[in-house]
Amino acid sequence: MAIVGIDLGTTNSACGVMTEEGIKLIPNRLGEVLTPSVVGLDDTGELVVGRTAKERLINHSNRTVAAFKRLMGTDHKVKLGRQLFSATELSALVLRALKEDAEAFLGETVTEAVISVPAYFNDNQRHATKLAGELAGLKVERLINEPTAAAIAYGLHDKREGNFLILDMGGGTFDVSILEFFDGIMEVHASAGDNFLGGEDFVEAMTESVLKESGIDRTALSPRQQQNLYMQMESAKRRIGQQAEQQLELELGKERVHWQVNSAWFEKVATPLLLRAKRPIERAMRDADMPPQSIDEVVLVGGSTRMGLFRSMVGRMFGRLPSCHLDPDTVVAMGAAIQAGLKSRNAALDDIVLTDVCPYTLGTGIINEDSPDQGEYFLPIIERNTVVPVSVVRSVCTASDNQTELRIDVYQGENRLVKKNVYLGELSVTVPKGPRGKESVDIRYSYDMNGLLEVDVTVVSTGKTYNKLIEFAPGALNDKEKAAALEKLAALKFHPREDEVNRALIARGERLYEASLGQQREIISRALGEFDRVLNGQNPAEIKKAQTGLREFLDRFDSEDWI
């Protein structure tokens, strides 16, 4: 039984498998290898995922959600129709769609997967990703960092050795990893990143700039107008490298505004975000103790690295053009598929040894006697960028006379004060009474390749050991809650696969109809009406021909050349 590799992205997701012929990217029900990470409900309450849902973002914004990956590991809920969903549950619906696509492609049941996560995802977010896989009916064999997956794809593709700097900017996150590939070993030297920097932020900055320069408050726009403006800015961002100037007609409240997008305006808008992107790159270089000249290749991953300004910034930093000869949108899925192949020991795959690092410092809180008003100090136990799997022991002692309980709080972060770091969980242990400082405990943190943390605390005087796997993070579910979530998701019905192409075309046509006026709107309406007529005829050959014709028509209408 095949194990699939999945890139669960903020904007798009993809799935692949390692076969005897090599890596196969799995097409979805529309025949595309990229599935938009968008979930919606149609008017009958049936679930739509991917391209069809994305086309409905403008016209049905109250029943469609996107970019929920940024909420992973939190207890934030998103309203979809009349129900509330966590980011974990929404991600599970995307994974369920990918699982069904994989089963249709492979002709067998798929129950196991390797899923990629941003290298800078914290422990809470990793647990949430694993849980999403379980809710989708997948046993998550391994979580693999996205830059590591990309480097595996490049390393096995070229059979080259050297130091790689992987810059992975997708829709919502930016990851930086420095890896060395030698003698069949892929070793991660350092990771850094920004979990709230991606292509979505560049589009949001463009949207904010338009509203500010136009003197229009966002609240003056209807939800449909806000989504329409956002999607126009997203399209403009994608075309900036090909067109020096773009003339847009924007519907802002009661006004229709003509707006010019050019390289100079985009550079002004994007510069603060590019400066943010430089910081994790420089930090990773410092942590790995590698000067720029020691990097053999700079590799770009993620659709947002296609931006010319980003590539120019990287080129100036390293004095060379970065590499991007593998598709940045699918290279992570390819690497995840390779790792899945390693797990299943596919005969066509040479063994490689993969090492990774802990991207954050993990530690506990200790009493701050010198400045009690500041709260507890952070005691690092596993330093960031330590090679994993790793197990480290630190000792602490009681802080007051006759203390009988000692609470070990678990934190993740880089600040000297625990209140400014991420709380992951706690473990309480019982100690014998005695003078302050007499009783001590050994705290062992064990961090594995999946980025999951286990805490063992041993009372030195009694030898008693307490253990906890850090699981109950914000947004995590206990067994009862997990069963309820499974029941809720199972009650949602997916649209039949055979109808998906038609629904996606109709949704796209309706989006363009909403964005148009006058004669253009009439032309689209006639095209959609003709398509409905053919669908009602239920002739498979005629439907296939009509699908091709409507797709070509919408492609022309969506292009800049339409007159």
Helix locations, 107-221, DSSP H:
123-135, 146-158, 199-214
Helix (H) or strand (E) holding 509: helix 500-515
Both tokens assigned to 545: 């021909």
Task: Clarify whether 7 is annotated catalytic.
Answer: yes
The single residue of 146, 194, 251, 409 carrying the catalytic annotation is: 146
Helix locations, 161-222, DSSP H:
199-214
The single residue of 7, 42, 55, 287 carrying the catalytic annotation is: 7
The single residue of 42, 168, 251, 510 carrying the catalytic annotation is: 168
Which residue reads 């798929």 in tokens? 110
Task: Clarify whether 134 is annotated catalytic.
Answer: no
Beta strands in 431-477 (DSSP E): 440-447, 453-459, 465-469
Q: Which of 376, 354, 380, 353 is nearest to 365 (CA)?
A: 376
User: 154 to each of 119, 193, 224, 335, 498, how far by Cα in Å?
Assistant: 17, 20, 41, 8, 36
CB-count burial class (<10 Å; 0-12, 13-18, 19+) for 394: middle
Give residue 88's Cα distance to chain centre. 12
The single residue of 24, 54, 69, 99 carrying the catalytic annotation is: 69
Task: Clarify whether 456 is annotated catalytic.
Answer: no
Q: What span, in angstroms and rounded, lies between the C-alpha atoms of 249 and 116?
A: 39
User: 505 to each of 140, 383, 527, how far by Cα in Å?
Assistant: 34, 51, 11
Q: Any idea what the Cα angle at residue 445 is, between residues 441 and 448, rounded to 5°?
A: 160
Q: What span, in angstroms and rounded, lies between the C-alpha atoms of 381 and 363?
A: 5
Q: Which of 405, 380, 406 is nearest to 393 (CA)?
A: 380
Task: Clarify whether 555 is annotated catalytic.
Answer: no
The residues annotated with a catalytic role in the active site are: 7, 69, 146, 168
